[in-house]
Amino acid sequence: MNIFEELKARGLVFQTTDEEALVKALTEGRVSYYTGYDPTADSLHLGHLVAILTSRRLQLAGHKPFALVGGATGLIGDPSFKDAERSLQTKETVQDWSNKIKDQLSQFLDFENGDNKAELVNNYDWFSEISFIDFLRDVGKYFTVNYMMSKESVKKRIETGISYTEFAYQIMQGYDFYNLNAEHDITLQIGGSDQWGNMTAGTELLRRKADKTGHVMTVPLITDASGKKFGKSEGNAVWLDADKTSPYEMYQFWLNVMDEDAVRFLKIFTFLSLEEIAEIEKAFDASRHERLAQKTLAREVVTLVHGEDAYQEALKITEQLFAGNIQELSAKELKQGLSNVPNVKLEAEADRNIVEVLVSAKISPSKRQAREDVQNGAIYINGKRIQDLDYVLSDADKIDDELTVIRRGKKKYFVLTYA
């Protein structure tokens, strides 16, 4: 099975400009290719990971990747399938975000070894040197307004309005391909399926201006079985930055994917062989309640993105929280595992009696209910059941001298911090 056949088998090929020609190029020699990432935030997310890992697979097959950070296009904003104009960011912000994205990409692509080691490029480097007049004369003249308006990404915005800034975005992306071909002999661009119009603008410019043929391959935009998209614009982003989405949160995300998606995601997001995945699928189908596919997916992706230690920590937090063993976890681990539960700061002068704490922290709605909760055994402090109405929280109840975890009933957790 050649690399293109494997990509198709994994569900990673959505569209190509000329599949036969692309397969020929990939099987007959080394292809230089690129994927672009606009710095529209200070981190990439799981939606980007599909193209990143596809780029890595091609590198492992001997081809040479270029990672393009859009320091210039990030200042403009891509209109593709957006309902409204993007908010423009300052040059300083875009530069800062560009640097962070460069660091993240180096986790996945090999920039150090071999003749096909990856290279980083930033389109601000060439756009900052082009005058507006030169760009119109040397690039703009190769695009007709009719051609530009035929793009689906533009059509969807015509009715609501699109600025010339975003309208011209496709020309800028097209020039990226042209410039990279001239400077680095890059002949293939990879990106998400929503970028098809922008990407083919590059092959059009190559054909018209340089009489050359370029290839485009898009990967699918990943949705779950309910049709929900992975992406920050959908409000459900899982970020690659551990400070924005902790390894534990990422682990839980994969652990909770639907059965219908689990095996498909193993093919897309992991480097397990197709044969290994087929064996996992058999065991998974025989006993779905054990969630083997989800557990394998969570292990592989968290390890890939954050490393083995982060995976082990996420696994430990998951297991100990499930068992209620709060005292087995550090404050750092609890902050990850309980990041989404109510966090209440206890003032220095506050009464530390358990009943008073339950009411002041809004864990119980009234003193009467708080007393009942304690007496009925529904209150746990750091995993230990408390039934004494006269119990007073002390420094001994602080985990790592930072926080206390109170549980009411089986699942309602609250984190107390101290002023």
Give one DSSP letter per residue of 35-94, joined into a string: EEE--SSSS-BHHHHHHHHHHHHHHHTT-EEEEEE-TTGGGT---TT-SSPPPPPPHHHH
Domain 3-219 and domain 343-418 have a common topology: no
* Class in CATH terms, 232-323: mainly alpha
Average pLDDT over the chain reads 90
CA dihedral 66, 180, 9, 27 (to 10 degrees): -100
Confidence of residue 259 (pLDDT cuts 50, 70, 90): very high
Give me 15's structure tokens. 């569209």
The answer, yes or no, to whether residue 175 has pLDDT greater than 50, is yes
| DSSP SS3 for 353 | strand
Confidence of residue 81 (pLDDT cuts 50, 70, 90): very low
Confidence of residue 93 (pLDDT cuts 50, 70, 90): confident
List, as own/partner pairs, every contact residues 23-27 make where C-beta atoms lie below 8 angstroms and the sequence separation is at least 24, other chains included.
25/187, 25/188, 25/215, 26/2, 26/58, 26/61, 26/63, 27/2
Q: Is 37 annotated for ligand binding?
A: no
Lowest average pLDDT, out of 67-81, 192-206, 209-223, goes to: 67-81
- The CATH classification number of 3-219 equals 3.40.50.620
Q: Which fold has domain 343-418?
A: 3.10.290
Domain ranges of the chain: 3-219, 232-323, 343-418
Backbone angles phi, psi at 215, to 5 degrees: -115, 145
The pTM (predicted TM-score) of the whole model is: 0.85
Higher pLDDT, 153 or 348: 348
Confidence of residue 38 (pLDDT cuts 50, 70, 90): confident
Q: Is 34 annotated for ligand binding?
A: yes
Specify the pLDDT at position 322. Answer: 87
Give me 171's structure tokens. 């020309």
- The mean per-residue pLDDT over the stretch 342-363 comes to 91
Q: Is 169 annotated for ligand binding?
A: yes
Q: Is 173 annotated for ligand binding?
A: yes
